[in-house]
Structure formats: structure tokens, C-alpha cells
Structure 1
Amino acid sequence: MKKNIVELNFVRAVAMLAVLLIHTTANARTLVPWGSLSAPVYIAANQLSMFAVPVFLMMNGLVLFYRYHDDWSLKQAAAFYKKRIQFILVPYLLWSVLYYAGNQLIATHQVHVDAGKFWEMLVWGKSGYHLYFMVIVIQFYVVFPILMTLVRLLKLNGLAVLALGLIVQGVFYFIHHWVKPIDHFSALMPNYSLVFCTGAAIGMHYEWFAACWRQVWWTMGLGAAIGFMYILMLLSAEEGAHYWPPAYVILYNVYAVVMGVSLIWSGKIVCERLSGAVRAVLEFGAISFGVYLIHPMLLTIWRQLADPSPQNMYYHPYNLITYILLVAASWLIVRYTKRIKWSWMVWGR
């Protein structure tokens, strides 16, 4: 059994904090008028956090290939699927029901069950605005045993796996934009194959990769530069500028990969200094899946209690307080309820 990569909990913690920031600033990103002093702050906070979802998928690829690359046979597929059904699919089904009912209660104060509509929402992760991510993860888990078997049979190295991810995503993008639009494009696995396979390539050679941590100083700077370039392109496009369409996708994926690499190396450095604060961050990363599942429900409840307009003098302090409360409440609820027997059905693992 390979040892756990502790620094990945640091990556998960930062990525989860970015997810919470995206959702906290989503309304302000659109409601605060462009030209106000606070608009650039909300835009930067929201858009620079967009690395979070692809980085989580990158970490999935890394962990799976790190764990199974040197120890895989098709006989393990049954045990692999059983574990994912127990700790991923069951919580997804439970939270889909909760969000399906909860969103209706908040909107209309009643619940109307439409089995056909619920099934469609379940398939595409639409019961909650964040659950599309679960649909993508489940697709990767379904495909993984087949992919891992092919990698082993063909003796593919990390570069070949990375190239495979690039080809699959490139072909998928080409078909969607120049042949025929693909329904539910953003919730389909091929749209994220590059970041997943990048993580897979790193996981196959993790010892070598981890030894390169001294490169973090320039990769983090490069990531910030790419992120700001991506924001400038989006803002320019809103003002009428036209760019080559794949440029957005290329920048977004490169930004996510560079940030993922930088965060892993940063986590390796941080974990060498195990202070109380670092332990807290690592703990937050370890329970980030539970935080991801519950935080939209907490945010919705909070917005029902208080949701001032951008013209309100307390609007900016309100958003800051919202973020702090969302982090703290999600963390504490998951942390203390995970000790309860059968809590895996709610929070996964």
C-alpha cells in the first residue's frame, strides 16, 4: 500500500475555499455595476477562483493513477466500483433528493414530485447548481478501470496518457463547436479529459514530480499571469472584442493545470512546517467533499435571512461575512457529524 500524499489535502483545501468564493461572489459579479470601485475586486475574486473545479478533477486523476498504476488488474474493477458506489453515488443520490425538495420548499413552500423531471435532473446534476461536478466525477470513475487496463496493456507512460487526454478533449471541442453542438457539453467527461490525464501523468511519476518543488516560484507567478490574462480577455469580449474561440479554452485549462501543479508543490512546502494552522488547513481539505455537498444549502438559507442590494451601504461587509460564515459553518457541521456512525452516507469519503 502506497503512503498517502498529505500535501493533496492542502490543494483540496485551497480549491474548496475557491469554490466557496465563487459562489459567495456570484451575485456580486453580475449585480455590481461595471465602473464602480468594487467591481474589479468581485470580478478578480470570482474569475481567478475558477481553477477550482478542474483542479479537483486533476487531483482525482492523480490519486487514482498514483494508487493503481503499479498495482492494477481487471479483477479489481468490482471492488473499485463497489467503493465508489458506497462513498460517491450514495451521497450524490441523497443530496440530489435534498436539493430537489429543498429548492422547491424555498421557492414555493411545497414539494411537487415529478419522477421524470427528477430523473433528468439526477442524470445531469441539476438538482443543485453545484452537483454537475458529481456527474463528471462519476463518469470518470465509470471509465477509469477500462482506461487503467488499457494503460497497463499498452504500457503507456505519463506523456502518452497526457497526449491521450489532449486528443480526446480537442476532438470533443472540435465536434461541439464546428460539427454539431453537444447537449450538456459542460457536464460531460471529455470536456475535462486534459486536466484529468494531467493529474494521471503526475500520479504515475509522483516521486519525480514532487522532487521538482523548487520550481513553484515561477509556476505560481505564471498561473497568476495566465489567470489575469483570461479575465482581461473576458472583459474585452464583453466590450465587443473578438478572439479565436479556442483561446478561452486553452487559457482556462492551462491556468488550471499550472495552478494545480503550483498548489501541490506549495502544499509540499507547507506540510514541512506542521503548525496548528497548517493542520487545520489539512483537516479542512480532508473533509472538503462534505463541505462541497452542504455549502450551497447553507448559502441559500443565509440569503433568505439577509440579502441586501449592491446599493446598500453594508453590501460589501455582508459579502465578507457571508464568506466567513459559509466556510466556518460548513467546516464545523461536517467535522463533527462525520464522527456519527453511517455518516458516510451523507458525506462520503
Structure 2
Amino acid sequence: MPVTQTSKKPHLPELDIVRAIGIMAVVMIHSTSSAVSSYDHSSSFYPIYVFLNLFSKFAVPVFIFLSGFVLFYNYYGKPWTLRSTGQFYKKRITKLAIPFILFSFIYWAFVKLVGPGFVDLKTFIGYFTDPIFWDKLLIGKTYTHLYFIVIIIQFYLLAPLMLSVLKRFPWLGNHIVWIGLLVQWAFIYKIVPMYHLKYAASYSLTYMFYFAAGAFIGIHYLKLASWIKIQKQHASAGKITAWIALWTLFLGSGVYMVMNGYHLNLYGRFLITSKQLEIVNEVQCVTAGLVLIQLSHWIYDRWNKVFVRALLHIGATSFGIYLLHPIVTYLGRLVPTGGSSFYYHLWTSIGFLIALILPWLIVSLSAKWKWHWLLFGPLPTKMKTASGNHAPPAASTTA
């Protein structure tokens, strides 16, 4: 039965650890992309870079999975009226769309300053009146990572409609995963080629399977939690088998994606067809969502509380870190490595840490500023607690 409006669902602070792992994977992708494309392919270190880069590719789909999870966990079964729809858009869209628009301008200015450079004020202003800029802004292409924000905005626009349909036909909640998969495949393999859509990655329907899978888990989470959490005292043979199967699928599909990418970089061709590769990728990304929720529960319960608090805070500020880190990564690539392999590896490792920690510090310090949400969305004003009494967190715009 749907959850009623008066039902009080437990707060899930562990989800911020999922966000923390997700943003680390995003930064890892961008920190190692240069090595994957330009480092000596015959080097014994090259497979390591390929692994770190390609195994982390679950990052964006996991954030989409988490968005579906959080939305449907919080809103499924609640009355969905015109007023609640307006409140939803005010809370979610405005605090996501405004930072997106501002950073679209910031990154477009950054691109022009490091490209053609500043010629004169009239020319510089002209970059923003050019129709190319507005076309790129609509699809999140003023810089490479902003397409993700466009996708999440599209899902937020769709969410009230999906929730209304599920309220009218509750039985659809049990079929939402395969419906999402069908929609995703129909869009990728029918709609995109039929209408010659150039930027398929900027459309939410390209990721509908991940969003729908997260929505399904969110709807049924209270029933599924005992199966997802790793607890020795409740570890029946069936649960252990399910956990092993889940991790095997995640690790196996992830390793195969790495092997395929490595083969592509070396020989210029895939090991399997593009459709088969899509299936493997979907398996990795969906199982990654479940694995990270499971892993985050274990980290939250068992790891050192200082480290857990740091992860919780990184997760809560992940939207701002996502927006800022590409500038740090770009500037880091301007630092010469002197042609030494040792310094190259050191430069890459330190570059990853700086690209994660520096934006985290900037975003964290900005929380004291009243209007920080204009740039980074809602932020926690202090480190989150890892104790048993959990205060409600600031709303996260990444999920």
C-alpha cells in the first residue's frame, strides 16, 4: 500500500556517503582522463589509469539513480496537488536551475578567456549574445560537465507527472524498472537516430532506466532495507547469496567495461557490439547504486566517526564540488611535469586530491554566506553528526 502523508519515514544519512563516493568517482574520471588519452599506452602504469577512469564511470548514473531513490522515497504516496507541485518546483528546480545558469555563464567566460582571450569588452559581451551560447546553455554544453544538471532538471520536471500517474495507478510501481528500461532503449535506439538528435547525453530519457530503478528502490525501501544492509545477525543463506550475486554482477560488469575500454584504446575497436556493451554498462550502473547504498550503511555503522563525518559533509556539499572541480582540474593540467614518469604520477595523484579538497573547502566556507544557494544550492552549516541522533540535513540538489 502507498505510504500515507502522515507516515514518518526514517531519515537516511547514509545517502550522503553515497554522494561522497559518487563525487569522488566523478573527480577521479576527470583527473585521469588526460592520462588515459595521452599517457604511454605501453607503460605498465597505463592499465591502472584506464581502470581508475573507466571503473568510475558509474558516477553520473549513480547520482541519477539516487535522485530517483530520494524523490520517490520522500514523495511516493503523499497527496500530489497543484499546490504541492508548485512547492516542489520552488524547492527543487529554483535551487538547481539558478546555480546552473550562473555557472553556465562562468564557464563560458572561462572558455573564452583561456581560448581566444580577452580582446575588448564589446567582443567579450558578444560571446554571451551569440545564439551558440544560448543553444549550448539549454543542453548543458557551455562546459563538459554541466549536461548532468540539465538531466536532473528534466527529471525534476517529469517527477510530478510520474508521481501523479503512480498515485492514479499504484500497481505501476511494481513495473517501473522494466518500463524505464524500455523507455531508455526506445529513446537511444529509435528516437535518437530517427530525429538525428546530436546530444543524446543531454536528454533525461537516455538515463530513464537508472532513474526508474532508483525510484523502485525508493518506493519499496522500507521492505528491502533488511536485504540491502549487511548485518551478521540477520544474514540468512538467502541474503548472503543475494549479496554475493549483487557484488559479482557489479564487479564483473565493471571489470569487463574496463577491459573493453582498454582494448578500444589500444586497438581502436570494441570487444562486443554497442548494444551488448550498453547492457553491460546498465548492469554495472544499476548494481552500483545498490552496492553503494549497502557499502554506505556499513561505512556509517562501522568506520571511524571522524572519517564518517567528513564523508557525510563531502556528500552534502557534492553539488558545489561538482560545479567547481573542473576549473581546478584544468588549471592543474597547466603545471609542467618535466617529462618524468614519477612526477607525472605524483602530479595526477595530487591533482585528484586538490580537485576534490579545494572545491570542498570553498563550498564549505561559502555556507556562512546567506546567498550561497545561488551558486551551490542548499548547504549544511556545519559537519554532520555520525551519532545515533540525526538532525535533518539540508536538502541536496544532487539527488
TM (normalized to structure 2)? 0.83
One of 78, 87, 99 as aligned partner of 2:95? 87
One of 152, 176, 185 as aligned partner of 2:167? 152
Deviation at 1:218, TM superposition (A): 4.6
CA distance in 2, matches of 1:22, 1:309: 23
One of 101, 107, 110 as aligned partner of 1:102? 110
**Equivalence map 1:281-296=2 (5 Å):** 281-296=311-326
One of 124, 127, 137 as aligned partner of 1:113? 127
User: Does structure 1 conserve the Cα–Cα contact (< 8 Å) formed by 2:260 and 2:271?
Assistant: no
| 2:275 is aligned with 1:275 | no
**Equivalence map 1:327-342=2 (5 Å):** 327-342=356-371
| 2:62 is aligned with 1:55 | yes
Aligned to 1:24: 31
**Equivalence map 1:301-312=2 (5 Å):** 301-304=331-334, 306-308=335-337
Structure 2: gaps of 5 or more residues: 1-7, 119-123, 231-241, 379-399
Deviation at 1:341, TM superposition (A): 0.5
CA distance in 1, matches of 2:104, 2:215: 29
Secondary structure of residue in 1 paired with 2:93 = helix
Secondary structure of residue in 2 paired with 1:272 = helix
Deviation at 1:196, TM superposition (A): 0.2
Q: Which amino acid aligns with 2:174?
A: L
User: Does structure 1 conserve the Cα–Cα contact (< 8 Å) formed by 2:54 and 2:261?
Assistant: no
CA distance in 2, matches of 1:24, 1:248: 24
Aligned to 1:186: 201
CA distance in 1, matches of 2:134, 2:377: 21
CA distance in 2, matches of 1:290, 1:323: 16
Q: Which amino acid aligns with 1:192?
A: Y
- Residues 237-292 of structure 1 show CA distances to partners (whole Å, capped at 9, x for unaligned) of 45245623211111111101111101101111221236111111111111101100
Q: Which amino acid aligns with 1:113?
A: Y
CA distance in 1, matches of 2:339, 2:154: 39
CA distance in 1, matches of 2:338, 2:40: 12
Between the two proteins, what is the percent identity of the paired residues? 31
Alignment RMSD (CA, Å): 1.9
Q: Which amino acid aligns with 2:166?
A: V
CA distance in 1, matches of 2:289, 2:60: 11
- Residues 285-321 of structure 1 show CA distances to partners (whole Å, capped at 9, x for unaligned) of 11101100111122223333x1437665411111011
- Residues 137-192 of structure 1 show CA distances to partners (whole Å, capped at 9, x for unaligned) of 11111111111101110113543111220110121122157645422111111110
Aligned to 2:252: 225
Deviation at 1:4, TM superposition (A): 2.5
One of 99, 117, 140 as aligned partner of 1:125? 140
Bigger Rg over Cα: 2
Secondary structure of residue in 2 paired with 1:122 = helix
Aligned to 1:235: 262
CA distance in 2, matches of 1:295, 1:179: 36
| 2:289 is aligned with 1:260 | yes
Bigger drift between 218-227 and 146-155 goes to 218-227
One of 62, 72, 77 as aligned partner of 2:79? 72
Secondary structure of residue in 1 paired with 2:70 = helix
| 2:273 is aligned with 1:244 | yes
Residue 336 to residue 177, structure 1, CA distance change in 2 (3 Å): closer
User: Does structure 2 conserve the Cα–Cα contact (< 8 Å) formed by 1:125 and 1:135?
Assistant: yes
CA distance in 2, matches of 1:309, 1:151: 59
One of 198, 222, 226 as aligned partner of 2:213? 198
User: Does structure 2 conserve the Cα–Cα contact (< 8 Å) formed by 1:11 and 1:264?
Assistant: yes
Q: Which amino acid aligns with 1:282?
A: L
Aligned to 2:376: 347
Residue 282 to residue 242, structure 1, CA distance change in 2 (3 Å): closer
User: Does structure 1 conserve the Cα–Cα contact (< 8 Å) formed by 2:319 and 2:376?
Assistant: yes
CA distance in 1, matches of 2:314, 2:263: 37
Structure 1: gaps of 5 or more residues: none
When the two structures are aligned, how many residues end up with a matched partner?
Answer: 348
CA distance in 2, matches of 1:53, 1:309: 34
TM (normalized to structure 1)? 0.94
Residue 235 to residue 177, structure 1, CA distance change in 2 (3 Å): farther
Residue 35 to residue 176, structure 1, CA distance change in 2 (3 Å): farther
User: Does structure 1 conserve the Cα–Cα contact (< 8 Å) formed by 2:188 and 2:200?
Assistant: no
User: Does structure 1 conserve the Cα–Cα contact (< 8 Å) formed by 2:36 and 2:53?
Assistant: yes
- Residues 322-345 of structure 1 show CA distances to partners (whole Å, capped at 9, x for unaligned) of 111111111111111112111010
